[in-house]
Chains A and B, each alone.
Chain A
Amino acid sequence: ETGVTQTPRHLVMGMTNKKSLKCEQHLGHNAMYWYKQSAKKPLELMFVYNFKEQTENNSVPSRFSPECPNSSHLFLHLHTLQPEDSALYLCASSQGVNPGGRGSSYNSPLHFGNGTRLTVT
């Protein structure tokens, strides 16, 4: 049990489908992250939320749409994906940065879920 739960674990979708990935943490963290991990490629940061505010969008195509309704939940909405979007999508959480300050969040390691293995056909 990692403290961060991702559902579903596996997802197969066609290019015209719409689906959503869900991430949930009960660690009391205020920062949440989406990463993409493809074979033979490094981890790619996609989005970051800090205290429910999006602070990072790493030039991600608009066919990926994140949503963070509260500090415990993070979604990644998917539509009209391409086969090259097939990958392991990882969610992570950590202590956030209080607006206007840094606090001790720099000490806080990321806690990852076990990912959603996405296949786009």
Chain B
Amino acid sequence: AQSVAQPEDQVNVAEGNPLTVKCTYSVSGNPYLFWYVQYPNRGLQFLLKYITGDNLVKGSYGFEAEFNKSQTSFHLKKPSALVSDSALYFCAVRDGGGSYIPTFGRGTSLIVHP
């Protein structure tokens, strides 16, 4: 069985500061991990993914995520937050040993203050 947890409903950060949105996962096989962003009145947009290889993956809009196998985490990061980064962020996982249908986290609302 696969599961994913986003422990924070909301993250607040000042513009220009680094941001982290947390995600942990549980799978029986190899994890396929994804981050998505959702702006108001829009669908989810793909940001980045980890499949294999380098633990630090880079994605759209300056975001990156770090895969940590021992901590079963895949936290989303950005060195310098922008007000326009304010949105809802979803982590998702597919279990390489299970279903191709991804499981999504509950979402984390990121608010970047000017």
A106 x B107 contact (CB < 8 A): no
Min CB gap B105→A, angstroms = 7
- CB-contact partner of B44 in A50, A55, A102, A112, under 8 A: A112
| B12 sits at the interface (CB 8 A) | no
Min CB gap B10→A, angstroms = 12
Min CB gap A41→B, angstroms = 8
For chain B residues 78-105, which have a beta carbon within 8 Å of chain A? 90, 92, 94, 96, 100-102, 104-105
A47 to B36, CA, bound (A): 20
CB closest residue in chain B, given A6: B43
A112 x B43 contact (CB < 8 A): yes
- Residues of A in contact, count (CB < 8 Å): 27
Using C-beta atoms within 8 Å of the partner chain, give the interface range for chain B: 20 to 34
* Chain B residue contacts of A113, Cβ below 8 A: 43
B42 x A115 contact (CB < 8 A): yes
* Chain B residue contacts of A97, Cβ below 8 A: 100
For chain B residues 29-54, which have a beta carbon within 8 Å of chain A? 32, 34, 36, 41-46, 49, 51
For chain A residues 1-23, which have a beta carbon within 8 Å of chain B? 2, 4, 6
CB closest residue in chain B, given A37: B38
A90 x B100 contact (CB < 8 A): no
In the complex, 6 of the A-B residue pairs with CB atoms within 8 angstroms, ordered by the A residue number, are A2-B45, A33-B101, A42-B106, A90-B43, A106-B94, A106-B96
Beyond A42-B104, A113-B43, list 9 extra A-B contacts (CB 8 Å).
Answer: A31-B100, A55-B101, A92-B43, A110-B36, A110-B46, A110-B92, A110-B102, A112-B36, A115-B42
